[in-house]
Structure 1
Amino acid sequence: MSVFTGWRAALRIARRDALRAKGRSALVVAMIALPVLGVTAADITYRSAELSPAEQLTARIGSADALYSDPGMGPLQQMPDGDMYNSENSESSDLPNQDVPPIDMHAVFPKGARAISEQSVPASVTTAYGLASADIVELKTSDRMARGKIELVKGAFPRGSGEMVATEPFLKSTGLHVGSDVTVTASGKKYTITGAVELPADLKTKQLYADPGAVIAPWQAMADRDKKVPAPHPGTSQWLVEGAGQAGIVWNDVLTANKAGAVVTSRQVLENPPPDSEIPLLRSYPDYNSGNAGSSETSAALITVVAMAILEIVLLAGPAFAVGARRSRRQLGLLGTCGGDRSQVRAVVLGGGLVLGGVGAVAGVAVGLLLTVAFRPMIENWAGHRFGSLSMRPTELLVIAVLGLITGLLAALAPAIVAGRQSALESLTGRRGVRRSSRVLPVTGACVLVLGIVIAVYGGISGNSTLVAGGSVVAELGLLACIPVIVGLLGRLGRRLPLSPRMALRDAARNRGRTAPAVAAVMAAVAGSVAIATYMSSTLAESDYDYTPMLTQGTIVLSGDGEAVERLPVARAAVEQNMAVTGGRADISRVWAGSDCHVYYEDAEDACGTLELVKPTGKGHTCPLNTKGAKELAARLSAEEHRTMMRSPACVDEYISVGSLSTDSNNIVVGDAALLATYVKLDDPAATAALKAGTPVLLNRAYAQNGEVTLKAVHAYNDKDKKNRKLHPGPARKTTDRLKVYVAKAEYAATPGVRMILPQQTAERLGLHTQPNGSVYAVSHRPTDAEDQRVTAAIEQAGGGIWVQSDSGPNDRGNTILLILTLFAGVVTVGAAAITTGLAKADAEADLTTLSAVGAPPRVRRTLSGFQCLVVALTGVLLGTAAGLVPAVALRLVDLRQSMEQMRLQPMESAYTPIVLPWTAIGLLAVAVPLLAGILAAAFTRSRLTLARRAG
């Protein structure tokens, strides 16, 4: 019999065996298809979300041939993509020149071209709740040139000067809908929202769109008639242009526009770029040609996780084939008695791997594609932009499918070798024999585990991300080799447990060939998720540390200036009525010396006066990281020592900008004891008593010396301030006062916006000017869009000029990504544990029959399945958590090395690189997911069993 004939017979036997045992075959296919599905969905999503240059251009210029804009520089030179340009008459200036008149763009367009303009203007508009600020874009959205740049979701495009369309995020935040009316408050003109639109390149934009001339022109006309109406301040205009012929806008058209001072982004030029010799800008600046090269390095975290994912795919299907070979041992024994040799027995088992691996690979790719299509809108909304198209690369999908097929073969390899070594007598009688566990494998695995950890840590310390990835994989391989011993030890833990958990632990220990690969599969999935989640949590903690809050957490500030302060009572009432105010109110005033100037003067001190809180010099006052020997000092500091020094009172206001509650750059605020409780969060009776007695409270002790501060004032009055100039003629009067202060604890030095609280009576005694500036409130949450719009409407109705400030907090917390990672690991854990439980039930059918025959209650069968699933899931999750911490910690060590190097070059740069565990994700994986797996396994297991009559 030829080799091909033998394999054809083996594949036929494997196919019939798979059809005969449909339940077990389905489990094997699911084991192989699960990772293939995930990789397929990830590949299609990644490729689709990565917009091609042509798709990026369409998002920018729509269906037009080109985008023209006027940077206000005069004649210029540009690169073909229009992103880089420079003035033809200047060596370095790429900023607008006020002396250059605007371009008559219609004279620049090629002959016969058609163009539509685009111009935005910030405005205040009415909403369902009150007033909101928004950008209104004048663009003919119904024109075909706008397709791809802006798309209609529902309703209709504007058809006149009294209509607008709005993006869905704007409608959601303002409580409006298609058919609602909005009014531009400055011009008083009302518009009807006729449709909802979206920007495919930015689904989160909040904007309104109107036809050209519908908003800016009537607003300007109103401003010309009524001087009390503020004039509009539109942004730079740009034009979408459609060429007259098939060629579009070519390079010669771009050069002609450059001579007139226009920058052009042309579709034709980007698709067919000119040679470098025809680009004038490259002749002047050759370095521009190398400025767009992207980095070819792949993230170390991505490399590590991909390596773990491949390892997981190899592990997933092993237990299924081991059980399948054991269930087919009588059939394999008959094959041996009929003259089949060991290679043919192995071929039958490998044929099962080939058949089921092929089915699993095809099913995984198909289901992954279908799920990506089904969840595409949700993925696009999460990514913040639409896919250009659903990008499927046949080569990559084929590689993924082949990988699934190879996975099936690899998973069947070990069972095939074992089946080939088994004698025909053992196969026919069903005896498994007694085999001792190898002692070499766990010892070797422990050594490999230690070696991998050492390599990963060394890679982190040395900054070599390749070593981190390699060491992490080596460590996980070593842990895999230790899993059989760990599983074997589980049997000893159940000596004093009830029947079902004791049997589950002993079954797992006795059938290590089935349990260990399943535990390994769960471990691999959890390790990758924990590694990414830990790394992300750590980087988010670092971002939080570096974030500079503008206000104290849980507070809002109501502030105004000039004549608007007269409307503060109305604004306070609006805030207290519409926002989640939880505490008392603290009123604040600003303080200054001399004229109240808000314009720049060449000699501001003599023209307007200044007020300065003088910082002493010396230890405890001067920041060591901002002195001559700072680099040498930074080289000797550890990351923790550097962090402590950066947060010290001497350095904190040089390291971060602590915001301001007033116009005073020294952050001196006039207030009373209510400000301590509401904003500073300082519960100190001594500080309260000091303010009542007229003693200032200093929050940054670096400005104090012997309990006193130096306040230097220049009382000057500019010539425009005729009233005060008449009262205070002559040169500026300079005063320096030493004030006794109450010094707060060092932790309050970083209070945003306040360095010292000055009592009103002390400011008057020093001859300083004060004016009510606003109020501070404690709130239970950040103002919502609706609350903010209600307060804004009340303030504008009273006359405006007052605003509410709230701290936006750190940027995106990344909770969505952490949730997806946790769900992924949870699904794989539940799936692997459930499949393993099903295999255990199939493998232990005889034992369960015997258990029922001797009188065990029906619920024992259900609880046994639940505990079997729980054992696999919990063991895999705990080992995976430990394995995932290795690459996460090592990668953070890489970041620490880079931060330390940057800190030594720039001592004021933060070197804080924490390692933060995602306890929520770990808790869900370690507790919730195993319990869920056990409950599901118990719920879907039949309690009663139909006893089969024994043969013979």
Structure 2
Amino acid sequence: MSRNGGLPARRAVVRWAWRLFRREWRQQVMVLTLLAVAVTAAVVGVSAGYHSTPPGTARFGAASQSFTLYAGEGQPLDARIAQAREWFGTIDVVGRSYLPVPASVDNVELRTQDPHGPYGGPMLRLLTGRYPTTPGEAALTDEVAADLRVRVGGALTLDGRSWTVVGLVENPGDLGAEFVLAAPARSEPPESVTVLTAADPARFAEYRARNGQPVYELRPSDQWVEAAAGVFSVFAVSMLLVCLIAAAGFAVVAHRRLRQLGLLAAVGATTRHLRLVLLADGAAVGVAASAVGAVAGVLVWFAVTPRFETAAGHRIDRLDLPWWQIAVAILLAILTATAAAWRPARVAARVPITLALSSRPPRPKRVRRSAVAAGVLFLLGVVSLRFAQRNREASHNELEIAAVTLIVAGTLAIGFALLFVGPLAIRVLAAVGARLPVASRLALRDLARHQARSSAALAAISVALAIPTATVVAARVLEQTTAEGNLSDRQILIWTDAPGLRVPDRTPAQLTAIEAQVRRYTATLANPTVVPLDIAIDPVQAPHPDVNGGRIGRLPVSVGASSSTGSETVTLVATPELLRYYGVDPASVGQTTQVLTAQPHPDLSLLSEPGGTARPLPPETTDRLPHPRFESLPRTFLTAAALQRHNWEPVRTGWLVEAPSR
């Protein structure tokens, strides 16, 4: 048998600690309440972060990939759909057309979709009535029904076509999607179709390579992770503050139990047994508070879910919670309570039996080790925060999970450094305050006498002040001034169409009318600088219907990183006026230079249409452009040599206007 009593002795000590907790839990109600509130906030916050991002079912249903086919691209839509069905086997087709709304400049989407399709089912939810089954029937979303003043059973007429409204529907994954749902009709083909499939990635890539690289999307994976991780990191930092406050509370509990601990030591308990008493008490507090907080958090989440659905823009299953993150939060709360009890337990276990029986606190000892530990932890915290900053800069200011982890680790390390340096700071204050008035001197001496609880309280106050101070400083540093931001207060970008969409074919008279309107606006300014903005198109390319209303237009030329089609950016033409505005002499641009860019990626490729076949650019054909001070200013230009080399044509797409004063 062990000299220390072994497992039976530890079991007896834990049982005794549990009895003490049940009898004296009211003395720890502050710590219990604090932990319970923290766990409640964590459950609600993590659940909100989990559901803050739109689900993949909003645009993909049960599919893994989707691609869009447009009418008027040579081969008929039916033939290309049959080709896709033969290639993939099982597909789901969603047709889209855009019809003008009477007495309005808006269009409404007419969607043809099988509600019971193999992949698109999760994209539809029936509210009232039934789904349309014949070509003369339709179902509306609630906003469309309200705007058009149509009820279930009424008649809907748009663009010379009529339907009987048989139900109200919605996209549960995207409550902002408004459309008219109709049964598929072969007599009136849609302007475009979205094909949903769940193919093998390699086979999907092969299809794209063989069929002209259609505009496609891949189902995003785990978008909620970053949001939930951000909320969880805030909870982890807040638990540091809770730990420090709880440590002060456990120090008081340890002082009250000195006599009991002294009696336990007198009958043979070791230092480990005495520590175990308070550690078991801390674990009991953590378990009780976590249980109450978890139940309260789930109930609060059930209550706020209907309101949160409106803010998030999608339907939420109340029981669809990140249970593993909630379990980690509960475990972290238990560990926090146990860790908060560790330092008071360590101090109380070292009190001599005679002092413990008399309930007199021991004389404070020198704290060389705590000062060294504080220095090491502070250094580790600063290094972690520095690495987090570098990680963010390397990822172009995107806060990734690695950066969040480093920020949390650095903040926790600095917080624990404050805890370890607390006793030293109290002693220094007590020594310096020898000449203070009596009241202040007595307060400092009392702090020095009860260092275990005083240092924890001092660290808690320091962290409580440091967090809002750091937040204010960070907000001030990140605050955009008149020399930063998207554009200055003297600039405006005027676009004839939204950047990145198809460029509609306009007649010279239409372009002249648009330019006249711009001139009338700029005439109201005092001596403005007006720089025309052109975009390049391939005149050989067949026109495409625009997704925003069926207008015919051409896809603009894009420039993107050769390694990723996801980084494509529609590119303006480097006209002499635009180059001079950027401070570049047009004569200094080489004859072989095709692209001028301020982007950090030198590995670029040309795409005659987004998603099309990339044409890698040799490094010698790319030159650097001065980096603009504002984020929304264009950063990549095609030179006149590029247009001449590829037989592309410039088309007016907008104007950059800058006034000399506000």
Q: TM-score range by the shorter chain?
A: 0.5 to 0.7
Q: In the TM superposition, what whole-angstrom CA distance separates every residue of 1:57-103 from its partner, at most 9, and x where no partner exists? A: 686357xxx8xxxxxxxxxxxxxx55479xxxxxxxx9877332342
Change (3 A) 1:483 1:617: same
Which sits farther off after the overlay, 441-450 or 314-323? 441-450
- 1:99 aligns to 2:68 (yes or no): no
> In structure 2, how many angstroms separate the alpha carbons of the residues matched to 1:377 and 1:411?
37
Query: Radius of gyration: which is bigger?
Result: 1
Contact 2:258–2:357 (8 Å) recurs in 1: yes
The 5 Å alignment of 1:20-419 reads 20-41=23-44, 56=56, 60-61=60-61, 81-83=64-66, 98-103=73-78, 118-125=94-101, 131=104, 133-139=106-112, 147-153=121-127, 161=136, 164-168=139-143, 186-187=159-160, 197-205=169-177, 207-212=178-183, 234-237=190-193, 265=197, 281=207, 308=237, 315=244, 317-338=246-267, 340-387=269-316, 390-391=319-320, 398-419=327-348
> In structure 2, how many angstroms separate the alpha carbons of the residues matched to 1:489 and 1:123?
78
> In structure 1, how many angstroms separate the alpha carbons of the residues matched to 2:80 and 2:323?
46
Change (3 A) 1:40 1:600: closer
SS of residue matched to 2:172: coil
Cα offset, 1:196, TM superposition: 5.0
Change (3 A) 1:509 1:197: farther
Change (3 A) 1:18 1:152: same
Percent identity over paired residues: 20
Change (3 A) 1:652 1:624: farther
Change (3 A) 1:615 1:28: closer
Contact 2:41–2:297 (8 Å) recurs in 1: yes
Contact 1:318–1:517 (8 Å) recurs in 2: yes
Contact 1:41–1:369 (8 Å) recurs in 2: yes
1:11 paired residue among 14, 37, 50: 14
SS of residue matched to 2:174: coil
Partner in structure 1 of residue 565 of structure 2: none
> In structure 1, how many angstroms separate the alpha carbons of the residues matched to 2:59 and 2:655?
45
1:361 counterpart letter in structure 2: S
Contact 2:422–2:455 (8 Å) recurs in 1: yes
TM-score (normalizing by structure 1): 0.43
Contact 1:167–1:208 (8 Å) recurs in 2: no
Change (3 A) 1:544 1:388: farther
1:622 counterpart letter in structure 2: V
Cα offset, 1:181, TM superposition: 8.6
Change (3 A) 1:84 1:587: closer
Contact 1:138–1:209 (8 Å) recurs in 2: yes
Contact 2:57–2:123 (8 Å) recurs in 1: no
Q: In the TM superposition, what whole-angstrom CA distance separates every residue of 1:385-408 from its partner, at most 9, and x where no partner exists? A: 334784457666555444433333
Contact 2:244–2:460 (8 Å) recurs in 1: yes
SS of residue matched to 1:646: coil
> In structure 2, how many angstroms separate the alpha carbons of the residues matched to 1:195 and 1:503?
78
Contact 1:345–1:420 (8 Å) recurs in 2: yes
SS of residue matched to 2:123: coil
SS of residue matched to 2:31: helix
Partner in structure 1 of residue 628 of structure 2: 646
Change (3 A) 1:497 1:333: same
> In structure 2, how many angstroms separate the alpha carbons of the residues matched to 1:666 and 1:132?
21
Partner in structure 2 of residue 75 of structure 1: none
Contact 1:125–1:133 (8 Å) recurs in 2: yes
Partner in structure 1 of residue 584 of structure 2: 622
Partner in structure 1 of residue 421 of structure 2: 482
> In structure 2, how many angstroms separate the alpha carbons of the residues matched to 1:623 and 1:529?
49
Cα offset, 1:478, TM superposition: 3.0
Change (3 A) 1:547 1:430: same
> In structure 2, how many angstroms separate the alpha carbons of the residues matched to 1:117 and 1:282?
17
Cα offset, 1:528, TM superposition: 7.2
Cα offset, 1:564, TM superposition: 10
Cα offset, 1:413, TM superposition: 1.9
Contact 1:487–1:508 (8 Å) recurs in 2: yes
Contact 1:157–1:165 (8 Å) recurs in 2: no
TM-score (normalizing by structure 2): 0.58
> In structure 1, how many angstroms separate the alpha carbons of the residues matched to 2:599 and 2:453?
55
Contact 2:487–2:633 (8 Å) recurs in 1: no
> In structure 2, how many angstroms separate the alpha carbons of the residues matched to 1:507 and 1:193?
79
Cα offset, 1:371, TM superposition: 3.4
Q: In the TM superposition, what whole-angstrom CA distance separates every residue of 1:847-885 from its partner, at most 9, and x where no partner exists? A: xxxxxxxxxxxxxxxxxxxxxxxxxxxxxxxxxxxxxxx
Contact 1:315–1:521 (8 Å) recurs in 2: yes
> In structure 1, how many angstroms separate the alpha carbons of the residues matched to 2:583 and 2:51?
56
Cα offset, 1:633, TM superposition: 12
SS of residue matched to 1:457: helix
Contact 2:18–2:284 (8 Å) recurs in 1: yes
2:180 counterpart letter in structure 1: Y
> In structure 2, how many angstroms separate the alpha carbons of the residues matched to 1:548 and 1:181?
49
SS of residue matched to 2:452: helix
> In structure 2, how many angstroms separate the alpha carbons of the residues matched to 1:21 and 1:459?
44
Change (3 A) 1:236 1:27: same
2:314 counterpart letter in structure 1: H
Cα offset, 1:136, TM superposition: 2.6
Where does structure 1 lack aligned partners over 5 or more consecutive residues?
67-80, 86-93, 221-232, 239-262, 572-582, 589-598, 603-611, 636-641, 658-662, 669-679, 681-698, 700-743, 749-952
> In structure 1, how many angstroms separate the alpha carbons of the residues matched to 2:91 and 2:236?
52
Cα offset, 1:323, TM superposition: 1.5
Contact 2:495–2:653 (8 Å) recurs in 1: no
Change (3 A) 1:453 1:82: closer
> In structure 2, how many angstroms separate the alpha carbons of the residues matched to 1:159 and 1:292?
29
SS of residue matched to 1:441: helix
Partner in structure 2 of residue 802 of structure 1: none
1:131 counterpart letter in structure 2: S
SS of residue matched to 1:375: helix
Change (3 A) 1:653 1:455: closer
Contact 1:155–1:178 (8 Å) recurs in 2: no
Change (3 A) 1:440 1:600: closer
Q: In the TM superposition, what whole-angstrom CA distance separates every residue of 1:20-52 from its partner, at most 9, and x where no partner exists? A: 32323333333444444455555555666788x
Change (3 A) 1:544 1:498: farther
Q: In the TM superposition, what whole-angstrom CA distance separates every residue of 1:261-292 from its partner, at most 9, and x where no partner exists? A: xx6625xxx5xx69x7999759989x99xx99
Cα offset, 1:556, TM superposition: 13
Contact 1:342–1:420 (8 Å) recurs in 2: yes
Instruction: Compute the RMSD of aligned alpha carbons.
Output: 6.6
1:265 counterpart letter in structure 2: T
> In structure 1, how many angstroms separate the alpha carbons of the residues matched to 2:492 and 2:154?
36
Q: In the TM superposition, what whole-angstrom CA distance separates every residue of 1:714-761 from its partner, at most 9, and x where no partner exists? A: xxxxxxxxxxxxxxxxxxxxxxxxxxxxxx74x68xxxxxxxxxxxxx
Q: In the TM superposition, what whole-angstrom CA distance separates every residue of 1:871-904 from its partner, at most 9, and x where no partner exists? A: xxxxxxxxxxxxxxxxxxxxxxxxxxxxxxxxxx
SS of residue matched to 1:120: strand
